Structure 1
Amino acid sequence: MDVPREELKQIRVERPLYEHQELRDNFLYEKPIKINAAKQWTKNLRAKKIALGLFPIFDWLGKYNWKKDLVPDCISGFTVAIMHIPQGMAYAFLGNVDPVVGIYMAFFPVLIYTLFGTSRHNSLGTFSVACLMTGKAVAEYSDPLYFNTNTNSTAVPTGYKPIEVATAVTFVVAIVQLAMFVLRLGAMSALLSETLVSGFTTGAAVQVLVSQVKDLLGLELEKYKGNFVNVLTVIDVFRKITHTNMAALIISVVTITVSALNNDYLKPIVAKKSPFPFPMELVAVVAGTLVSKYCNLNENYGVKIVKTIAVGLPEPSLPPLELISNLIVDGITIAIVSYTITLSMALIFAQKLEYEVDANQEAFALSLSNFFGSFFSCMPICASLSRSLIQQVVGGVTQLASLVSCLILLVVLLWIGPFFEPLPKAVLASLIVVALKGMLLQVLDFWKFWKLSKMDALVWMGTFLTVSFVAIDIGLLVGVCLSLASIFLLSFKPHTYLLGQVPNTDFYLDVARYKAAKEIDSIKIFHYSGGINFATKTIFRDDLIRLVGINPQKEVVYRATVAKYIEKMEGTKPPAKTQVKLERAQSKVNTDLRCLVLDFSSVSYIDPSGVTMLKNIIESFTKLDIPVIIASCKEPVYEMLTKCDPDYYAKAGFRSFPTVHDAVHYCTELFRNSSNATIATIQMTE
């Protein structure tokens, strides 16, 4: 029940004036005891069954409502399976492997993820960015003879098939993600900020777009390796643009136009009337296959087609372990990117549908899925936003929908696969390009970040340009470095200001922003937001001196100068020149400040260097008979202050209070007692 506003207009609190240590003593302060990792692991094992921890499927399957949820899961699984076929075949080409590999990825690893994953709606399988990053490594280490395109004349035969390199990458990704799980490094994904991810995925979309130009135009281009592949590819495209295959170009234009119209106009109309999306991608693939087959596009017009698609399931084989040392950088990059994207989407669905997702368990599930997939001709898997959304919107409740999808794809692998052999590559390239629209439109995010923060805009642009024109892995590294640099630089710009009191209240607000807040006579309240460490201690001191208006070192000199002139002029009539110097020196002396309050309510951390600096400031102000008081000090900061010197407070001669209001009350009482003592001294003298 809401309380009427009239009853909330007056707040009155009566309590004693506390110092920080008194607060601890009176309210039974006790520092929490941290449990080490081994004890925490043992505690977790005792707290819940191992099976429920490692096999989340037992948790939701035990509560599964078979009558209510089975049909929606089956419908969702069937719908997602239809999406897997064209997407899997298309994105497999990004990885420079056979199209059937994309369907393998939607089958083998997904079976494992269903057992170990905590997200009930993520649709695992192919994802454009992860496949493209894998394709870079495949192009780098595969034998050029396995590609049906012209190769660079300087290429050296390696003897490795593209799928062997791809599975080796998957194996490395599995190891990295397992290490993330064991070391509890799920927080590493926090390094990939929204700004970085936006710039990275937009740049990757440009990479994908350029990589598909050859199939869109039906060109024969060289396979470039290393950095600046996009630039070299674009130059090669313009050099050979006159050799464009017109049949492939027509197929691309038609497919892109129809698919774009479907996404922009037909899909919204269908969504209003039915939860099931119209499978335009599958229609395009089937139509392209039939037209190619009955018009002999490959023989009559030279249109490149998919060709052989293996029937049945691949035999398990060990990835080439000798390649692992060469693929560590690629594996780490892909592992972090795929984990971050998968976890982000899992958290979105979990928050929306009110269930829990375990970040470290997700790393474990992805690790086992990729490990299993590396033995069955799979590239690293990642969650797909489009498929996951469809899986949830159509009615999917649990990962049982993924199992249904796997069963349907098993039928495709065993019997239907060869049907797609005449499919033109231009159709798959067109579907990829249309799917990139959302990622490419993220380029507009730059202006949003520019308006919000120039630093974020710099991170976005640096990441985007490096990914687009240099390389994906280098672009990710540049983005992370820029993000860390921005955090480091922002720590050198702490927010500092003076506080004033709103009359007749305990509110203390920024006097530069709140006109109703007035500074208290003879008291300066300095507010600092951020950490105080070896790197920021000078900033703290300089901002304090600037805002308070007193430099203690100079103030001591000014006062000593005044005292010298006064002593020199005692009993004599000073010359006019000396009188001018005295007045000039007296004008520099600050007599207004009688007490300094440091508001530490927003100080998150202080290190020993910061403590030493703080001691020096306190001692220098104390020499001027200006007491320094700390207010609203966080417990970890207070503990660091006392830990560095147990007798610190007694030696320094200052106090700490739990609130600014307590500190101000203490200062006013200090002034009152000082005035009373002065009056008593005068009366005794008289």
Structure 2
Amino acid sequence: MHIPQGMAYALLAEVPPIVGLYMAFFPTLIYVLFGTSPHISMGTFAVVCLMAGKVVLQHAHHPDLLNVTNATLTTPPPPLGEGEYTPIQVVSVVCLVVGLFQMAMWVLRLGAVSTLLSEPLVSGFTTAASFHVLASQLKDLFGVRIRKLSGNYKVIYTVIEVVKNLPYLNWAAFTISAIACLVIALNNELLKPWVSKRSKIPVPIELIAIVTGTLVSRFWGLKEQFGVALVGHIPTGLPVPSVPPLELMPAVALDAGTITVVSYTISMSMALIFAAKEKYEVDANQELLALGSSNVFASFFGCAPFCASLSRSYIQYQAGSKTPLTTVISALLVLSVLLWLGPFFTLLPRCVLAAIIVVSLKGMFVQVKELGKFWKLSKLDALVWIVTFVITCFVSIDIGLGAGLLASVGSLFCRSQAPYTCLLGRVADTDLYLDCKRYRAAEEIPGIKIFHYCGGLNFASKNLFRATLFRKVGYMKPTAGEERRDEDNNVTKADYEWDPTIHTRVKCVIIDATALSYVDAPGIKTLVAVQRELAASHITVLLAGANGPMLEMIARYNSLEADRLQLDVFPTVHDAVVYHRIMSKKAEVAVTVDA
């Protein structure tokens, strides 16, 4: 699969097909030395190649080399002017910058950066990117020529251009595309499942397709008789290493940063999937070193940034891959093509490669179904998916990824502004305290309000914490008028006023901090303010279940601030309840003695 997919995906990067074979050889040998996953198949990947191709279109200048449809040049192309670069030069400097970014992340121990890309974001992003890939192949599927497009709204403009040129449809190319798509799809849907039950080695349908397409083109003269675009000249041997144009690095740095995050996240996701199945560990930071060193090395041979392939990795795993030796053998087979068999594919119709790309996108297209799952689980996750998909698909890849990141951060902020809070009641004859609204056996203790807060208490949530606590314990009551309540019958929207008679009903407020994950200095200041306001109404405030880091933060705060937090702290809610009862009885006895 390295051969057909490498040649096909190289076209997405706007470079000759031979570059895809280079990517299956040079970087993979370095990855074997440093990588920690023996199961993933490294090389070309549609989304990453498409993102690299966007940079090529922006910075490459040679028209003949950009338009690889006419790759069969009979005369050498004219020399480049000063400040002009070929597509291979541009893609190699992108590969270099991506590698340097990944190695810098390894030095800084930033392996956890992949967690910034949530599952809804990755799903929406890759699904939308698949539409970019499909749009880029329409011209070859229909055998039409369209002008080069760049900038935003590329999918929309590409479809418009293809529709405009449909009167000039090349029926031979369209027929070959339809047959190739049909055969590959039938193999994947019908023959492949049947073969997988009887053999670990799948039918190499993509390789069969390009060999058959090449033979048909050779004996039927598809270019001469029907004007079908061919792959063109494929050089033999290995490329001479050369230094990428370093002066172009600042211009491609922003796009390279996006490619860095996407390629690392996809590769790590695949590595973790197989690590979980085979029960071994994958070092996230070591993977950064492996990817970075591989990309830096490959950049000197005109390669694009490489990444793990979902389809090839699954096939490699199902075939019984156990060690990195599988990757070495695969690279040696690709080397045989580079040294001897490359010219055989010179007459390969480009529409066959386009068909291979389009059919391989099925897995990403069906990810649209995941939107329904996200919608049922969390409306915020579904919103992240929709924002990422719409902007990536209809605007541009890099803007869509940025919008997805902002949407993910926004969803986290929204969740922090809607924490789970409740009043706890005691289950009779036990020391269990549960949500009174959810458990009928839990009954509130007269005179005691136990406030349970789940989340972080920080600068962003301090005001929400204070207002919610006062509403729950009854210190603030809704004024007469329209109220809105949630499924737990809690008031969610109303105008509130202070209740000066609260001390007649509530004697103690216990803050259950067992689910309070984090507190910062503004959060502690809020606790100080809450305690003072309740103490002014003769209400005792106790803290229960605070974890070690929270207690340490309180101690540090008290050592630095004159306005100290002075709360009695108890390991459990029950201990706080018992303590309050004991102190209340002592106070009653003292009052009786005085009387």
The answer to whether TM tops 0.5 is yes
**CA offset digits 1:570-626 (Å, max 9, x no partner):** xxxxxxxxxxxxxxx999454121111000111112222221221121122222221
Q: Work out which of the two has the higher radius of gyration on C-alpha atoms and give 1 or 2.
A: 1
**CA offset digits 1:34-58 (Å, max 9, x no partner):** xxxxxxxxxxxxxxxxxxxxxxxxx
Contact 2:474 2:499 in 1 (8 A): no
When structure 1 is superposed on structure 2, of 667-676 and 207-216 the one drifting more is: 667-676
When structure 1 is superposed on structure 2, of 251-260 and 669-678 the one drifting more is: 669-678
Residues 136-285 of structure 1 aligned to structure 2 (within 5 Å):
136-143=54-61, 144-148=63-67, 159-285=84-210
Tell me, in whole angstroms, the C-alpha distance in 1 between the residues paired with 2:560 and 2:291: 53
Residues 371-386 of structure 1 aligned to structure 2 (within 5 Å):
371-386=296-311
Tell me, in whole angstroms, the C-alpha distance in 2 between the residues paired with 1:272 and 1:649: 73
Aligned equivalent of 2:526: 613
Tell me, in whole angstroms, the C-alpha distance in 2 between the residues paired with 1:300 and 1:214: 19
SS of 1:601 mapped into structure 2? coil
How many residue pairs are counted as aligned between the two chains?
A: 565
Tell me, in whole angstroms, the C-alpha distance in 2 between the residues paired with 1:365 and 1:262: 35
Give the CA deviation at 1:647.
9.8
After superposition, the Cα gap between the structure-2 partners of 1:679 and 1:650, relative to the gap in structure 1 and judged at 3 Å, is: farther
Tell me, in whole angstroms, the C-alpha distance in 2 between the residues paired with 1:177 and 1:656: 46
Aligned equivalent of 1:347: 272
After superposition, the Cα gap between the structure-2 partners of 1:147 and 1:619, relative to the gap in structure 1 and judged at 3 Å, is: closer
Aligned equivalent of 1:478: 403
Tell me, in whole angstroms, the C-alpha distance in 2 between the residues paired with 1:198 and 1:587: 53
Contact 1:502 1:516 in 2 (8 A): yes
Does residue 492 in structure 1 map to residue 417 in structure 2? yes
Contact 2:16 2:68 in 1 (8 A): no
- Paired letter, 1:494: P
Residues 434-449 of structure 1 aligned to structure 2 (within 5 Å):
434-449=359-374
Contact 2:459 2:522 in 1 (8 A): yes
After superposition, the Cα gap between the structure-2 partners of 1:484 and 1:650, relative to the gap in structure 1 and judged at 3 Å, is: closer
Of 625, 637, 647, which aligns to 2:538?
Answer: 625
After superposition, the Cα gap between the structure-2 partners of 1:587 and 1:603, relative to the gap in structure 1 and judged at 3 Å, is: closer
SS of 2:9 mapped into structure 1? helix
Tell me, in whole angstroms, the C-alpha distance in 1 between the residues paired with 2:429 and 2:462: 35
Does residue 506 in structure 1 map to residue 431 in structure 2? yes
- Paired letter, 1:239: K
Aligned equivalent of 2:332: 407
Aligned equivalent of 2:52: 134
Contact 2:427 2:442 in 1 (8 A): yes
CA RMSD in angstroms comes to: 2.0
Tell me, in whole angstroms, the C-alpha distance in 2 between the residues paired with 1:651 and 1:390: 62
- Paired letter, 2:539: I
Tell me, in whole angstroms, the C-alpha distance in 2 between the residues paired with 1:95 and 1:594: 70
Give the CA deviation at 1:115.
0.5
Tell me, in whole angstroms, the C-alpha distance in 1 between the residues paired with 2:285 and 2:560: 44
Residues 312-351 of structure 1 aligned to structure 2 (within 5 Å):
312-351=237-276
Aligned equivalent of 1:575: none
Aligned equivalent of 1:599: 512
- Paired letter, 1:283: I
After superposition, the Cα gap between the structure-2 partners of 1:681 and 1:209, relative to the gap in structure 1 and judged at 3 Å, is: same
Tell me, in whole angstroms, the C-alpha distance in 2 between the residues paired with 1:253 and 1:474: 33
Tell me, in whole angstroms, the C-alpha distance in 2 between the residues paired with 1:234 and 1:350: 41
Contact 2:503 2:538 in 1 (8 A): no
Residues 49-64 of structure 1 aligned to structure 2 (within 5 Å):
none
After superposition, the Cα gap between the structure-2 partners of 1:167 and 1:149, relative to the gap in structure 1 and judged at 3 Å, is: closer
Aligned equivalent of 1:8: none
Contact 1:594 1:625 in 2 (8 A): yes
Give the CA deviation at 1:494.
1.5
SS of 1:285 mapped into structure 2? helix
Aligned equivalent of 1:417: 342
SS of 1:134 mapped into structure 2? helix
Contact 2:22 2:301 in 1 (8 A): yes
Give the CA deviation at 1:354.
1.8
Give the CA deviation at 1:243.
0.7
Contact 1:259 1:280 in 2 (8 A): yes
Contact 2:69 2:231 in 1 (8 A): no
Of 30, 38, 60, which aligns to 1:120?
Answer: 38
Does residue 89 in structure 1 map to residue 7 in structure 2? yes
- Paired letter, 2:26: F
**CA offset digits 1:380-432 (Å, max 9, x no partner):** 11001111112121111110111111111111110011111111000000010
Identity %: 51
Aligned equivalent of 2:488: none
Give the CA deviation at 1:346.
0.9
- Paired letter, 1:523: I
Aligned equivalent of 2:76: none
Does residue 107 in structure 1 map to residue 25 in structure 2? yes
- Paired letter, 1:189: S
SS of 1:616 mapped into structure 2? helix
Contact 1:619 1:652 in 2 (8 A): no
- Paired letter, 1:256: C
Does residue 392 in structure 1 map to residue 317 in structure 2? yes
After superposition, the Cα gap between the structure-2 partners of 1:329 and 1:210, relative to the gap in structure 1 and judged at 3 Å, is: same
Aligned equivalent of 1:368: 293
Give the CA deviation at 1:680.
2.5
Tell me, in whole angstroms, the C-alpha distance in 2 between the residues paired with 1:650 and 1:90: 68
When structure 1 is superposed on structure 2, of 307-316 and 349-358 the one drifting more is: 349-358
**CA offset digits 1:108-160 (Å, max 9, x no partner):** 00010001111111110000011000011111111134233799xxxx98631
SS of 1:270 mapped into structure 2? helix
Aligned equivalent of 1:572: none
Of 543, 552, 558, which aligns to 1:645?
Answer: 558
- Paired letter, 2:533: S
Tell me, in whole angstroms, the C-alpha distance in 2 between the residues paired with 1:543 and 1:653: 21
Give the CA deviation at 1:651.
6.9
Contact 1:346 1:357 in 2 (8 A): yes
Aligned equivalent of 2:218: 293
Tell me, in whole angstroms, the C-alpha distance in 1 between the residues paired with 2:475 and 2:255: 56
Please list every run of 5 or more consecutive structure 2 residues that lacks an aligned counterpart in the other structure: 71-79, 480-497
Contact 1:150 1:222 in 2 (8 A): no
Does residue 657 in structure 1 map to residue 576 in structure 2? no
Aligned equivalent of 2:452: 527
**CA offset digits 1:486-534 (Å, max 9, x no partner):** 1112111111110111111121111111111111111100011111122
Instruction: Please give the TM-score of this superposition, normalised by the length of structure 2.
Output: 0.92
Tell me, in whole angstroms, the C-alpha distance in 2 between the residues paired with 1:315 and 1:651: 70
Tell me, in whole angstroms, the C-alpha distance in 1 between the residues paired with 2:125 and 2:499: 61
Does residue 671 in structure 1 map to residue 591 in structure 2? no
Give the CA deviation at 1:654.
3.6
Contact 1:150 1:221 in 2 (8 A): no
Contact 1:649 1:655 in 2 (8 A): no
